[in-house]
Amino acid sequence: MPTDPETLAARVRAGDRRALARAISLVENGAEAGHDLVSRLYPHTGEARLLGITGPPGVGKSSLVGALVTEGRAARPDDQIGIVTVDPSSPFTEGALLGDRIRLTEHFLDRGVFIRSMGTRGHLGGLAEASLQAALLLDAWGAAEVFLETVGVGQSEIEIARIADTIVLVLMPGSGDAVQALKAGVMEIPDIIVINKADHPMARTLHAQVRSILTLERRDWTPPIVETEAVRGEGVDTLWARIADHREFLAQDGRLEARRRANLESEVFTLASARALRRLQARVAEDPRLREALDAMHRRELDPLSCTMQLFEEVFDR
Ligand SMILES: Nc1nc2c(ncn2[C@@H]2O[C@H](COP(=O)(O)OP(=O)(O)OP(=O)(O)O)[C@@H](O)[C@H]2O)c(=O)[nH]1
Ligand SMILES: [Mg+2]
């Protein structure tokens, strides 16, 4: 497989799966060649519909993605689907892959579906950066749909899903933390809420809880709550219909355009902040003068804000 960006970019655009796999590996490892590739392909992106699927561990996100893929492929056989599953808690890509293999097995042989799992290994630029790049590559490859699965209910996981046009939060009975986060306003209200494992006796209670939180929200889009049983494919057609509704909503009054602009700009600020933090940490680790500023703070000779400004000036203003 050639690695020169020009040939690789052409092959990705032509729909070559091996080239795509190679390209994603490059961005995953933070290689300059990966960046080069994405910058060549970026003008050819923007066609894919991006769907973020997020939620606490084990609620059934991957099972749901699998069921949605089945549904999507049946409804529009010509539409290719790209899937990126991101697990910030998994140090090994292989480990992340193993779990998803089990959930998404039936789609591994489908040439119209491309699945990639990412753990925290590698990713010099961070997981958010790698997943954005991977989503862009899938888009350039010709995926009509890109599904981005992220685990967790923290801000950083939502950050990863933020580039999506539509965000689906998956919960199951027992997702107390996520419900609390929604209630406390810590977690942004997603576009659609799924209560998976609806076969569980406590599903109705959860549904009522979530509904009561949503009634406090006033937006021009009221997030629908959908009950599903991902393993049996139950409710998945309804979920597809609600996703389609949201897309229709976005298609009006320039909302999609506005959302994508806001998403991308916020993504750029997030990525820039992450880079700034890494630069600061690296400089402090290698420059004894910067280390000394921190030590002076600990000796109470330099107040924290002065210390901050000193570090900032040394690292960014020179
Ligand atoms: N009873 C029941 N079990 C389900 C349902 N959906 C998924 N599961 C099971 O829940 C477990 C976790 O499913 P996954 O799809 O891997 O969940 P996930 O949210 O992707 O998990 P992580 O990616 O590890 O956070 C598996 O054992 C599934 O078989 C459902 O609707 N009902
Ligand atoms: Mg999963």
Integer Cα distance of 139 and 275 in angstroms: 25
Ligand 1 centroid distance, CA of 140 (Å): 30
Beta strands in 62-199 (DSSP E): 80-86, 113-118, 143-151, 166-171, 192-195
Whose Cα sits closest to atom 7 in ligand 1?
Answer: 60
Q: Is the CB of 38 under 6 A from ligand 1?
A: no
Is 192 a residue whose pLDDT tops 80?
A: yes
Same domain, 99 and 173: yes
Same domain, 88 and 71: yes
**Which CATH number characterizes residue 247's domain?**
3.40.50.300
* pLDDT score at 91: 54
Integer Cα distance of 15 and 278 in angstroms: 35
* pLDDT score at 90: 60
Q: Please state the domain count of the chain.
A: 3
Q: What is the mean pLDDT of the chain?
A: 88
Ligand 2 centroid distance, CA of 304 (Å): 41
Chain segment 76-131, per-residue pLDDT in tens: 999 999 999 987 666 554 444 555 555 566 777 788 999 998 876 655 567 778 88
Confidence of residue 255 (pLDDT cuts 50, 70, 90): very high
Which ligand is closest in space to the CA of residue 84? Answer: 2
What order do you get walking across the sheet with 192-195 strand by strand? 113-118, 80-86, 143-151, 49-55, 166-171, 192-195, 225-227
Q: Which domain holds residue 18?
A: 1-43
Integer Cα distance of 136 and 138 in angstroms: 5
Residues paired with residue 170 on neighbouring β-strands, in sequence order: 194
Q: Is the CB of 236 under 6 A from ligand 1?
A: no
- In this prediction, residues 251-255 reach a mean pLDDT of 96
- In this prediction, residues 217-238 reach a mean pLDDT of 92
Assigned domain for 221 exists: yes
Range with the poorest average pLDDT among 29-33, 102-106, 287-291, 309-313: 102-106
- Look at the chain and count its residues: 318
Q: Are 198 and 228 in contact (CB under 8 A)?
A: yes
Same domain, 204 and 291: no
CA 257 from centre of chain: 19
Assigned domain for 148 exists: yes
Name the more confident of 40 and 179.
40
| Residue listed under structure tokens 């990639």 | 116
Q: Is the CB of 151 under 6 A from ligand 1?
A: yes
Same domain, 181 and 100: yes
Same domain, 56 and 127: yes
Is 295 a residue whose pLDDT tops 60?
A: yes
Whose Cα sits closest to atom 13 in ligand 1?
Answer: 60
Same domain, 139 and 71: yes
Name the more confident of 22 and 151.
22
Name the more confident of 266 and 40.
40
Is 9 a residue whose pLDDT tops 70?
A: yes
Same domain, 126 and 184: yes
* pLDDT score at 169: 93
Question: Given ligand 1 and candidates 63, 83, 89, 104, which is best to mutate, with the most ligand atoms within 8 Å of its CB?
Answer: 63
Assigned domain for 261 exists: no
Tell me the torsion sign for CA atoms 207, 211, 214, 216: negative
* pLDDT score at 94: 47
> What number does the ligand 1 atom closest to the CA of 58 have?
21
